[in-house]
């Protein structure tokens, strides 16, 4: 996976930081394995594998959720299905090795992603779905970060950070993009 090729450097630094901070993060080897499987599953749209890497009560925060977080496996699966339907060619790559937070409980992974809005968005939020939005055929390219917390060796909290306004302009949902 791009960004993780300098794993020896990451292993050494991560192991020292983890020991000094006393946080709840898995070992460097486990983190490398988790993120290799995570990005492979994201890029192949393999929600079943993603669910094996998260806790039953996983919380996902994403600007595209419009203020309503995903909670638990059912919400996670629904949000994944909606996202993969809207952006069937969506791909991500880590741009650096994972970064450890000073509290020893979080890891941040900078990424670059691309996708084309050829599908549609519907069914979100589940309790009061917004009207269906059909794809525009336009592509987005973004850089962002994912922040992860772990519990019992699994991801328990995932915050996806990117410029939602920029993405909306790029795919033609808001004026000002390359329309």
134: β partners = 120
Domains contained in the chain, number = 1
Q: Which two tokens stand for residue 169?
A: 């302009």
Q: How far apart are CA 71 and CA 126, in angstroms?
A: 12
SS3 40: helix
Does 42 reside within a domain? yes
Which of 17-21, 68-72, 170-174 has the weakest average pLDDT?
Answer: 17-21
Question: Where in the sequence is the domain holding 122, given as residue range(s)?
Answer: 12-171
The string of DSSP codes covering 79-119 is HHHHHHHH-TT-EEEESSS-EE-TTSSEEEEEEEEEEE--S
Does 158 reside within a domain? yes
Give me the half-sphere count of Cα atoms (radius 13 Å) on the Cβ side of residue 43.
16
Query: 173 or 130: which carries more pLDDT confidence?
Result: 173
- Give, in order, the Cα–Cα distances in Å from 175 to each of 22, 67, 122, 143: 48, 22, 21, 20
Does 178 reside within a domain? no
Residue-wise pLDDT for 119-138, tens only, equals 999 988 888 888 899 999 99
Q: How far apart are CA 126 and CA 101, in angstroms?
A: 33
Does 97 reside within a domain? yes
Q: Which two tokens stand for residue 61?
A: 């925060």
Does 4 reside within a domain? no
Does 3 reside within a domain? no
The per-residue pLDDT for 10 is 60
Domain with 147 in it: what CATH number? 3.10.450.50
pLDDT at residue 15 tops 80: no
Does 41 reside within a domain? yes
The per-residue pLDDT for 111 is 98
């Amino acid at each position: 996976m791009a960004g993780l090729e300098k794993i020896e450097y990451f292993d050494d630094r991560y192991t020292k930081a983890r020991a000094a901070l006393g946080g709840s993060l898995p070992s460097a080897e486990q983190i490398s394995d988790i993120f290799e499987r995570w990005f492979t599953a994201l890029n192949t749209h393999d929600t079943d594998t993603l669910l094996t890497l998260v806790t039953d009560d996983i919380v996902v925060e994403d600007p595209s959720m419009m203020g309503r977080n995903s909670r638990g496996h059912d919400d996670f699966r629904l949000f994944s299905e909606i996202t993969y339907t809207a952006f069937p060619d969506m791909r991500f790559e880590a741009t650096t090795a994972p970064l450890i937070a000073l509290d020893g409980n979080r890891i941040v992974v900078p990424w670059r992603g691309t996708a084309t809005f050829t599908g549609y968005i519907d069914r979100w939020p589940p309790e009061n779905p917004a009207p269906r939005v059909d794809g525009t055929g336009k592509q987005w390219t973004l850089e962002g970060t994912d922040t992860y917390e772990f519990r019992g060796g699994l991801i328990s909290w995932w915050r996806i950070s990117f410029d939602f306004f920029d993405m909306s302009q790029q795919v033609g949902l808001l004026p000002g993009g390359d329309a």
